[in-house]
Structure 1
Amino acid sequence: MQLMPDSPLRRVALEVEAHVAAEGWDQPPRLFALVSTADLIAREPALADQLSAEPDSITPVEQELSSERELEDLLTEIEWPDAVAGCAAVVERIMLPPDAEESLPEDPDELLAAVAAHPDRREVRLVAAVTRDGRAHSTVRAREPADAELLEGPDLVPGLIEHLRRTLA
């Protein structure tokens, strides 16, 4: 049963998540420009057979990223051209339960060690997709169990969504 209203943005966020998930875990951050499929086909007619024929569809185009810097830092310098309707990012993170935050050290090195050793930590893959008109869709999938349910909604990863929105301003 589908609980989220379907939209081109939702479909492209799910497509990006499935694409990255097919390559397994322990991946670096990934960034995608989101372009109107109709505009892409108009510029590159040879791609018509490979892309969706739905009128409002969005096509993700993966961007090459430097592995030297954190994604959030790179996003502060990105400005997309007008032809880009939106963008999507994929990151893997460790999440802790909310009550664990109270006991975490403030020193960055100690914090990393504490999070890595925490018995209730969960590794997750986060996907956020946004468009110039302000819409957003996000997904969260836990690494364990192997068949973990994909959670989705418009604002599951608000920090990442906000970073992406700033690249479109």
Structure 2
Amino acid sequence: MRVEDLANLAPDSDVRQAALEVERHVAAEGWDQAPRLFALVRTAALVAQQPELAGQLGDAVYTPVEQEGLPDQGSLEESLDAIAWPPAVDGCAVVVERIMLPPEAEQDVPDDPAALEAYVAAHPDRRDVRIVAAVTRDGQSHTGVRGRLPADDELLEAPDLVPNLTRALRDTLAD
């Protein structure tokens, strides 16, 4: 699939705008960051509770509110399993850096976790990426993936580019 084709998969939406805001915020601080988690709260509800914020928040439907670190329980997926949002949170977003390999490299991937880590780190076609994923309680989602190189790499977007990550985020919102 070409980059131009991916643009058609990313219609504008409130959750897309929230994901883009989160991605810009994290990208401003560079690479080599730990995963970062954000609650998505309806801006109108936030202003109703804290009117002094009205001039700072703008007119976006969702305001991302960064959370203090993810629980340190191993993998990102395990950390997300430990999270349950209160009803006042309308959605959530996460930003994580990963290494991606081309599909043809998958046939040689070792089963042993230590060997896998070494294989990925040494692979000549590896690509460092930053992934942003956002979901809302009403089922909307948006995902973006940006490569580390070149420095001006385009953000590839679609509602569900990383299905396991969006599924894990949705599970944090389950009642």
For the criterion TM > 0.5, the same-fold answer is yes
Distance in 2 (CA, whole Å) between partners of 1:38 and 1:144 is 38
Match of 1:111 among 111, 116, 121: 116
The one-letter code matched in structure 2 to 1:131 is T
Please list every run of 5 or more consecutive structure 2 residues that lacks an aligned counterpart in the other structure. Answer: none
- CA displacement, residues 77-110 of structure 1 (integer Å, 9 cap, x when unaligned): 1110000000000000000001101011111101
TM-score when normalising by structure 1: 0.95
Distance 2:48 2:76 in 1: 31
RMSD: 1.4
- TM-score, normalised by the number of residues in structure 2: 0.91
Work out the number of aligned pairs and report it: 167
Could you tell me which residue of structure 2 aligns to residue 65 of structure 1?
Answer: 69
Separation in 2 of the partners of 1:68 and 1:155?
A: 26
Of residues 161, 167, 174 in structure 2, which corresponds to 1:162? 167
Contact kept in structure 2, 1:88 and 1:128, CA below 8 Å: yes
Whether the 8 Å CA contact 1:28–1:67 is kept in 2: the answer is no
- Secondary structure of 1:15's match? helix
Q: Does 1:122 align with 2:135?
A: no
Q: Which residue of 1 aligns with 2:142?
A: 137
SS where residue 94 of structure 2 aligns? strand
Q: List runs of 5+ in structure 1 lacking aligned partners.
A: none
**Alpha-carbon separation, structure 2, partners of 1:63 and 1:71:** 14
